[in-house]
Structure 1
Amino acid sequence: MADTPETTETARDQEFIEYVVKMLVDNPDDVKVGRKIDEMGVLITLDVHAEDMGMVIGREGMTAKALRTLLRVIGARNNARVNLKINEPAGSERARRMETP
């Protein structure tokens, strides 16, 4: 399938977040970015290695907030609402705490 200008333009948000996150983390091969479009807009999902969650979230969530802000700017250029969901990895501390009664 050949890239149309529309396809290339709309996939930039996914490529951007993947590039930035891979530069932040210690395990770039474990970074997985998904993209879903629905009536609410574009949802970018991000999966990273459990050890890298701290770098992606940042102190008090500042890194995650910055990533979301940049994605919204990219979306605004394409008249789309773009949101970022960072999935909790299976082996993370938070996942273990939530499982413990």
Structure 2
Amino acid sequence: MKRLIETIVKPLVDHPERVRVETEEQDGRLVCRLSVHPDDMGKVIGKQGRVAGAIRTIVNSASAAGRKRVRVDIMD
């Protein structure tokens, strides 16, 4: 999932070298914490959270094959 999130996010931002994804197992689900450069935060979240929602939808669809729930948190 880490590589999938990086592949989606890096083309969206101005500072792709600052994209970090940390993963952790929590309560039977995989938690992915995404952090980006502060200037890129708006690009990752999008208007009314639409980009963030789309990222979460794609990741959840990809995780359905593995039958494990994934949560994507965008850290500030």
TM-score normalised according to structure 2 size:
0.95
Matched, 1:51 2:39: yes
User: Using the alignment, how far apart are the partners of 2:63 and 2:42 within structure 1?
Assistant: 25
- SS of the residue corresponding to residue 14 of structure 2 reads coil
Match among 54, 60, 73 for residue 66 of structure 1: 54
Aligned to 1:27: 15
Which of 7, 15, 28 is residue 3 of structure 2 equivalent to? 15
Which residue in the other structure is 1:9 paired with? none
Structure 1 spans left out of the alignment, 5+ residues: 1-12, 89-101
Aligned with 1:78: secondary structure?
Answer: coil
Cα displacement (A) at 1:23: 0.8
Sequence identity percentage: 37
Q: Which runs of 4+ in 1 moved over 2 A?
A: none
Q: Which has the higher contact order (CA 8 A, sep 6+)?
A: 2
Structure with the greater alpha carbon radius of gyration = 1
Q: CA deviation at 1:19?
A: 1.2
In structure 1, distance between residues paired with 2:64 and 2:40: 29
| Residue 85 (str. 1) matches residue 73 (str. 2) | yes
Distance (whole Å) between structure 1 residues aligned to residue 61 and residue 2 of structure 2 = 13
Q: For the residues of structure 2 that align with 1:45 and 1:34, how far apart are their CA atoms?
A: 5
Q: Distance in 2 between matches of 1:35 and 1:74?
A: 16
